Amino acid sequence: MRAKIVAGNWKMNKNLSEAKALIKGLKKELKKVKLDKNTRVVIAPSSVNLRSAVNRTKKSVIEVAAQNVSHEKSGAFTGEVSVDMLNDIGVASSIVGHSERRTYYGETDALLAQKVDTVLGKGMEAIFCFGEQLEDRKSNNHFKVVESQIKNALFHLEATSFSNIVLAYEPVWAIGTGETASPEQAQEMHKFIRSLLKDEYGDKVADAMSILYGGSVKPANAEEIFSKPDVDGGLIGGASLKANDFIEIVKAI
Ligand code: PEP
């Protein structure tokens, strides 16, 4: 049975004291929730707060992921953080290919393929994000765009590598805009993504893959989106910054 995952992407928010307070709030609220064994709760604080987050979540179910990681292993890459550095402080997962990285930092499919290889090469998990722009959807090219993003960054991998990958479909027009894909639009795309995996790697890989939806998920819409059969959870931006909101979303899974 594939994992259900609710992951919070804190982006460039929360200084150390705020991060500590949010984790404290999450732990307190989570104590009141009966989580299924199959459910994972992940937070992705900024890189400077990862170590503290790992230490503060050790005795809880909360897992800590990075928001980004270098495609290089080490060396003269000013400002970058390596998989070794993450692994060394107990971070076992990283978001890769978030649309903000693609848009503001020019991350291409080819670079993301390298990042995925570096992350998996370290035995870590990649939460791989992708999704179409508004104009792609308006011109009915959204399936084509998503297909090429996935194929270009992931389809060089062996089937066994997919056990360390989580997919996050995030239509760019729905990120931070308050605009959400309808549950039907999310389901339609997630089903399509699973069919791509099925065609290339077979039923086993496709059925085991957790495919998250991201884009303005909030307590009010989470349950309906998560009720769709191919939606296995969410990658949450804005609503992950408040303990109560994030835990309400966790409860909806
Ligand atoms: C995100 O940044 O991954 C995201 C989905 O943001 P928001 O929930 O704020 O739309």
pLDDT in tens, 26-83: 999 999 999 999 999 999 999 999 999 999 999 999 999 999 999 999 999 999 999 9
Confidence of residue 179 (pLDDT cuts 50, 70, 90): confident
How confident is residue 176, by pLDDT bands cut at 50, 70 and 90? Answer: confident
pLDDT value of residue 1: 87
Residue 183, pLDDT > 90, answer yes
Residue 98 annotated among the catalytic residues of the structure = yes
- DSSP secondary structure letter of residue 3: P
Instruction: Provide mean pLDDT across the span 198-217.
Output: 97
Burial of 196 (0-12, 13-18, 19+ CB in 10 A): middle
Distance CA 52, CA 48 (A): 8
Per the model's pLDDT, the better-predicted residue between 207 and 179 turns out to be 207
pLDDT for 203 beyond 90: yes
Helix (H, G, I), strand (E, B) or coil at 235: strand
| Pairing of the two strands 211-214 and 233-236 | parallel
142, 170, 190, 248: the catalytic one is: 170
180 touches ligand 1 (CB under 6 Å) = no
Report pLDDT for 243: 98
The closest of 77, 73, 68 to 50, measured between CA atoms, is 68
Does ligand 1 have an atom closer than 6 angstroms to the CB of 9? Answer: yes
| 87-137 residue pLDDT tens | 999 999 999 999 999 999 999 999 999 999 999 999 999 999 999 999 999
Collapsing DSSP states into helix, strand and coil, what is residue 233? strand
DSSP secondary structure letters along 28-92:
HHHTT----TTEEEEEE--GGGHHHHHHHHTTSSEEE-BS---SSSSSS-TT---HHHHHHTT--
* The predicted structure's pLDDT at residue 57: 98
- Check if CATH label 3.30.420.40 holds for domain 4-252: no
Q: Are the beta carbons of 121 and 83 closer than 8 angstroms?
A: yes
Q: Whose CA is nearest to atom 6 of ligand 1?
A: 237
Rounded Cα gap, residues 128 and 33, in angstroms: 28
From ligand 1's centre to the CA of 67, what distance in Å?
A: 12
CA distance 196 to 205: 11
| Separation of CA 136 and ligand 1 centre (Å) | 19
Domain chopping of the chain, boundaries: 4-252
For 1-39, b where at least 16 C-beta lie within 10 A, e where not — what string? Answer: eeebbbbbbbbeebeeeebbebbeebbebbeeeeeeeeb
Look up residue 163 and give its two tokens.
Answer: 């056990």
Name the maximum alpha-carbon separation found in the chain.
48
With a threshold of 0.75, does the pTM exceed it? yes
Distance 96 CA to ligand 1 centre (A): 14
